[in-house]
Structure 1
Amino acid sequence: MNEYRINQLLENLKDPDEEIRDRATAELWRIWFEQKGAIGFEVIRQAQLLLETGEIKEAEIALTQLISDLPDFAEAWNRRAVLYYSIGEYKKAIADCKMVIKLNPIHFGALHGLGLCHAAIGEYRQAIQAFRQALEIQPYALINQKLILECTARLS
């Protein structure tokens, strides 16, 4: 990845102009999905289709194989975390989110997902921490602000 371009996109996420932020968000997602070229992207796409048609086990197998083949492909870990979250396997999703963040510390999607997982199992302090980290990268992400308030309310 071109470090200058990534830094420019990260700055754009902090721009008051929503259109600039939206373009930067979309471009970062594109970069992350295409990190390992057409083959990696295609496996992720196929796994998503399997997930959408309820073929959870097949989607998990495809993503696990992709992770085995390309262990530094952060988006493969992220997609499997999404799968685990969608079936209520929050601890597995947390582990995968942490791996995404280790590989790609600016992955606001994984930070958001990590927060969702912690909130789902009642770990509100950890959830708040993850949502705050996501907000450092995407300060205008209202969903994270809202979820911080919800988690804070549950602590009282």
Structure 2
Amino acid sequence: MKKSIRFCKSVVAAYLLATAPVLAQDADVDGMLAELANPDTTNWMQLERRIRTEWQRSGSASMDLLLQRGIDAMEAQDWKLAVEHFTALTDHAPDFAEGWTNRATAFFQLGMYGPALEDIGRALSLNPDHFDALAGLAVILEEVGMREDALEAWRMVAAINPHRPETKAALDRLEREFGGQTL
């Protein structure tokens, strides 16, 4: 467990030190992220969908097919098959953050938090603005009892995407627990 806690802290620290994504994002995505970060934005659900659609474009029909097969397996709750598809995707497209993010989700569903955290770390090194990967990190940190680190991860999610009700609920719950202190 201590090794797992050190790893969790390493993932959080690596994210906090990241100042720019390894791969440059499209200017459209940057603009959409800026709009999404605005707490007054009313079309946030549409923005989320458009951002995710852009993030899911690998530039390769074969990789897009592997991604879709993995997503289909997750929708069927066949987590092992999803891991297989996403593993093939990450093997063939290691610089494609969506493969890592989605495989992390499948690993989490299988109760494999260590591999999930490793994949989240990889996804965030490729795309530090990936609010879904950050939310996954926050959920796992909270699940393993690292509630202060989870609060910090939820705050990072909210800085990018302040609109999701589950983000607001997690922040409210954890900030009450820690008395609103800055960590």
Report which of the two has the higher share of helix: 1
The one-letter code sitting in structure 1 at the alignment partner of 2:100 is W
User: In terms of mean alpha carbon deviation, does 71-80 or 52-61 score higher?
Assistant: 52-61
Of residues 139, 153, 171 in structure 2, which corresponds to 1:148?
171
Partner of 1:29: 52
Per-residue displacement from partner, 1:50-74 (whole Å, max 9, x unpaired)?
2343433222122111101110010
| Long gaps (5+) in structure 2 | 1-23
Aligned equivalent of 2:85, options 24, 40, 62? 62
Q: CA RMSD in A?
A: 2.0
> Is 1:117 the counterpart of 2:159 in the alignment?
no
Task: Quote the residue 2:150 is aligned against.
Answer: 127
- 1:153 CA displacement: 4.9
Aligned twin of 2:13: none
Q: Which residue is 1:10 aligned to?
A: 33
- CA–CA distance in structure 1, aligned partners of residues 128 and 142 of structure 2: 21
Q: Secondary structure at the match of 2:123?
A: helix
Report the TM-score, using the length of structure 2 for normalisation: 0.76
Question: 2:149, 2:171 → 1: CA distance?
Answer: 10
Relative contact order (C-alpha < 8 Å, sep 6+): which is higher?
2
With the length of structure 1 as denominator, give the TM-score of the two structures.
0.87
1:53 counterpart (71, 76, 89): 76
Amino acid of the residue matched to residue 104 of structure 1? N
Aligned length: 155
C-alpha separation between the residues in 2 aligned to 1:36 and 1:123? Answer: 37
Separation (CA, whole Å) in 2 of partners of 1:47 and 1:34? 14
Structure 1 unpaired stretches of 5+: none
By how many angstroms is 1:97 displaced? 1.0
Q: Distance in 2 between matches of 1:22 and 1:55?
A: 27
Displacement of 1:4 after TM fit? 2.4
Contact 2:137 2:150 in 1 (8 A): yes
Paired letter, 1:97: I
| 1:6-48 Cα deviation digits (max 9, x unpaired) | 22101210152322x2222111100111133332222111112
Is structure 2 residue 113 aligned with structure 1 residue 90? yes
Query: Structure 1 vs Structure 2: percent identity of aligned residues?
Result: 23
Moved more, 132-141 or 98-107: 132-141
Pair 123,131 (structure 1): closer, same or farther in 2 beyond 3 Å: same
